[in-house]
Structure 1
Amino acid sequence: MRRGAARPAVAGQRLWGWLFVSPATLVLGVFLVLPILMAAWVSLLDWDGQSNPFTDGEATFVGLDNYRELLAEDGLDRMLFMTSLRNNLYYVLIEVPLVTGLALGLALVVHQRRLRARSMLRTTFFFPSVTSSVAVATVFLFLFQGGGAVNGVLSWFGVHGPNWFADSRGVVWVALDGLGLVDARRPTGVLAEHGFLGLSWFEWLSGPSVAMCTLIVLATWTTSGTFMLIFLAALQDVPRELEEAAALDGVGRRRMLWHVILPALRPVLFLVLTLALIGSWQVFDMVYVMGQGAPGNTTLTPAFRSYQAAFGDADYGQGAAIAFVLFAVILAFTAGQRWLLRERGPRKGRAR
């Protein structure tokens, strides 16, 4: 009798559970899952956005042609998309470690118990994160112009700064050209003749442009405060007994950071790296405000290219396809990052 009576009770609990979560499930389904499915269908169409893609016959079904144009066929579409991937790849490789290291360093500084004005420092470091990104990007645009404040300060020291948003060369080749090792304005040879996925090796290996480096500095400054608070909350949960025991054993600050604090912060470190990685691949607003891909498409990103293809070129199918390729890239990088940061157990020795 008890087992039979328990089954209706469990069934009633499940029913009430579904009733409680049904509003959130309905909202997510209507505003998240359904738009994703609609965008997936649009990525298989040749649609200009002027008709109904689900009922009107003006939208032509082209299958995987939009993806093929981006990944396999030589042409302007693939060149622009691969250029945006190259730019964003440099952005990710530089910005993610930079912002993570800076945020962790700021958190360690603010976490010191003997430090005075800790609240003021926390507010100062976090303030850029709550400032409008469009407003900050506009200010940076004026600062890094040819006659902006940055070049004005450099001129005091006898350094004539570049026109930050006019040089389309990568910083690697700018440096090599400045040292007189190569002529970066006229690449020749194997690097210019051969390449990968529609771009020459010169374009892949030239590094980010000066303008892209400016975007990286801007993004690091505006996002490090948020990640600092996340690290700070995690540092406050680290048991003080571990630090005190390590200090009694004569462990220095570097060894304590590497062997005590960082292992305790592993889950939070993975969270911060994942958020930084996703945000770096989705950068859009700074690119839109500070040049829309200029100079020479060296600040073009996949997110902005998707917007450009859909709303600028009226090719909504290709814009949706770019969005889904970007989604696959983010999933691949997140999976690789999770594999690299996984917890590795002790190696099992051979039985003797």
Structure 2
Amino acid sequence: MRTATAATAAVVEPGRGGATSTRRGPTRRGSSAARGQGLWGWLFVSPMVVILGLFLALPVVMALWVSLLNWDGQSNPFSGAADFVGLRNYQDLFTHDGLTRTLFMTSLRNNLYYVLLVVPLQTGLALALALAVNRRRLKGKGLFRTAFYFPSVTSSIAVSTVFLFLFQSSGAVNSLLKWVGIKGPNWFTDARGLVWVVLGGLGLVDPAAPPAALADHGALGLSWWDWLSGPSIAMCTIIFLVVWTTSGTFMLMFLAALQDIPEAQLESARLDGANGRQVLRHVIVPALRPVLFLVITLGLIGTWQVFDQVYVMSQGAPANTTLTPAFLSYGVSFKDAQYGTGAAISFVLLAIILLMTGLQRLLLRERDAGGARVALTRRVRARVRTQRQAQDQAGRAGR
């Protein structure tokens, strides 16, 4: 006779003496309740889904379509009035000789140096500040944390305006440099690359007479001399501004992660003989790996999208040495009415951000937590043992 119903099912599981256990399956009432909860969940999140769809997903799709058009912004891009050019806007950025490619490659070069300097500097400074304000014996922790975080909550436009006055040729920065016998440059009008300025100061190259091997050859519309010049003096002021204003936010992230590290783990490393540098390298930094990934990711996204500081302080001048892809996309679209090219620049920038984020995710990927802790302990103990042996040998040799 059939005794099982839709609500129950007899399951025979191997066990002691072949015991049979009865497992209650999902009931109609339970499944209907689950469906009801799912419907209520979608009902509650539907306003946000609609808002994100209308103001985020839909504009992205529209911009992608515009990047395939030759559109001046005066007509409906979906009516057929705009010329469909396919991938020609993207080809103009990479393969066709002309002003568009030159400006785009110049902006990529500027932004690449900007990223290479800002992301490590702001990450290192934020970690150093977090370690400093996390000390137990530090007095006035709240005051220091507020002071370090204050630039991050100040308007970037206001801070950029203040920096314009500080870095003028007769501003406070050059006045301080004059007191120590250094003649400061005209910060916002100096287009010289930092690499050639430093090498020229050491007498290794002549910035006014670049070698023919670098000046006459190049790639993607720029000479090797331009590619290797480094950030301009004007761009260095923007780099200093951004590092100063963003380190406070990342400091709080590192500080929260530092306070989650078990004190027993730190004490164990110290009892094994590890000094402060070894504890930082082998205990603290591995424990901060997830936060480090977050900080670097946010830093990459923010630095590749830099716009407001450039708009206020330089607008690409001098000689396009502070031009960035985000500002170039704005200028090409709203000033030159080449919305297709501007949208293409935006999507190339999006691809660069996704590529670099994926790359650093690969480099900072998580490993097995248990195996990592065991290997970490072994490395610390082996390193301490080696140092003790070296000290013993040095003491014996001294005797």
**TM-score between both structures, scaled by the size of structure 2:** 0.84
**In the alignment, what sits opposite 1:104?**
127
Q: CA deviation at 1:4?
A: 4.9
Is 1:48 the equivalent of 2:72? yes
Q: CA deviation at 1:261?
A: 0.8
**In the alignment, what sits opposite 2:49?**
25
User: SS in structure 1 opposite 2:209?
Assistant: coil
1:287-345 Cα deviation digits (max 9, x unpaired): 01111111111100000000010011111111111000000000000000001111346
1:76-103 Cα deviation digits (max 9, x unpaired): 0000000000000001111100000000
Is 1:219 the equivalent of 2:242? yes
**Superposition pairs of residues 65-214 of structure 1, within 5 angstroms:** 65-214=88-237
2:329 to 282, 301, 306: 306
**Superposition pairs of residues 218-257 of structure 1, within 5 angstroms:** 218-257=241-280
Q: Once structures 1 and 2 are overlaid, which stretch shifts more, 304-313 or 335-344?
A: 335-344
Q: Which has the higher contact order (CA 8 A, sep 6+)?
A: 1
User: SS in structure 2 opposite 1:165?
Assistant: helix
Distance 2:140 2:58 in 1: 49
Larger radius of gyration: 2
Is 1:282 the equivalent of 2:305? yes
User: SS in structure 2 opposite 1:124?
Assistant: helix
Distance 1:55 1:303 in 2: 28
**In the alignment, what sits opposite 2:366?**
343
Q: CA deviation at 1:56?
A: 5.7
Distance 2:204 2:134 in 1: 46
Amino acid aligned to 2:292: L
1:10 to 28, 34, 37: 34
Is 1:333 the equivalent of 2:356? yes
Distance 2:106 2:83 in 1: 28
1:93-115 Cα deviation digits (max 9, x unpaired): 11100000000000000011110
Equivalent pairs counted in the alignment come to 346
Q: Once structures 1 and 2 are overlaid, which stretch shifts more, 167-176 or 15-24?
A: 15-24
Q: CA deviation at 1:20?
A: 2.1
Q: CA deviation at 1:149?
A: 1.3
Distance 2:186 2:44 in 1: 58
Segments of 5+ residues of structure 2 without an aligned counterpart are 1-5, 8-25, 373-399
Amino acid aligned to 1:153: L
Q: CA deviation at 1:205?
A: 0.5
Distance 2:116 2:86 in 1: 33
User: SS in structure 2 opposite 1:329?
Assistant: helix
> Identity, % of aligned pairs?
66
Q: CA deviation at 1:153?
A: 1.2
**TM-score between both structures, scaled by the size of structure 1:** 0.95
Amino acid aligned to 1:100: T
**In the alignment, what sits opposite 1:350?**
none
Distance 2:253 2:204 in 1: 45
1:209-245 Cα deviation digits (max 9, x unpaired): 1111111110000000000001111111111111122
Q: CA deviation at 1:21?
A: 2.0
Q: Once structures 1 and 2 are overlaid, which stretch shifts more, 2-11 or 38-47?
A: 2-11
Amino acid aligned to 1:148: G
Distance 2:173 2:202 in 1: 23
Q: CA deviation at 1:16?
A: 2.1
Amino acid aligned to 1:289: V
Amino acid aligned to 1:221: W
User: SS in structure 1 opposite 2:187?
Assistant: coil
Amino acid aligned to 2:349: L
Is 1:38 the equivalent of 2:67? no
Distance 1:256 1:54 in 2: 60
Distance 2:321 2:122 in 1: 21
Distance 2:202 2:275 in 1: 41
**In the alignment, what sits opposite 2:387?**
none
User: SS in structure 1 opposite 2:188?
Assistant: coil
1:160-216 Cα deviation digits (max 9, x unpaired): 111112221211111222233322123231111111111111001011111111111
